[in-house]
Amino acid sequence: MMAERQKYKARFSSRLPNGDFLSFTVWPGKSDPNAEVLTIQIRREGSAGWETVHRIAIYRTPDGKFSLLPERTPASQPAKTEPIGGDEAGESIE
């Protein structure tokens, strides 16, 4: 039996002047369906098909608190070891 694919709550996209696509998607939380994961990404068509140029994911708790999720690391690339300061703009909003 195949696992059921998660359904997004909302999705919007726009083609940028250079041909890339900017998209915004709202997903239900995995452990709490009242929470949400907001993703914003830029995708580009390359020689091997569509690839994600950049992605940001933000977690929204049911009570409205936001936090930046860590970057996904493709299996073929090592994880970034750069520290992220806690007082940088955009990391957490309440």
Domain-embedded: residue 43: yes
How much of the chain, in percent, has pLDDT values that exceed 90? 60
Domain-embedded: residue 63: yes
Domain carrying residue 30:
23-71
Q: Give this prediction's pTM.
A: 0.70
Residue 7 reports pLDDT greater than 60? yes
Domain-embedded: residue 57: yes
49: left (phi over 0), alpha (psi -120 to 50) or beta: left
Q: Which tens digits make up the pLDDT trace of 53-72?
A: 999 999 999 999 999 999 87
Domain-embedded: residue 40: yes
Pairing of β 21-28 and β 36-46: antiparallel
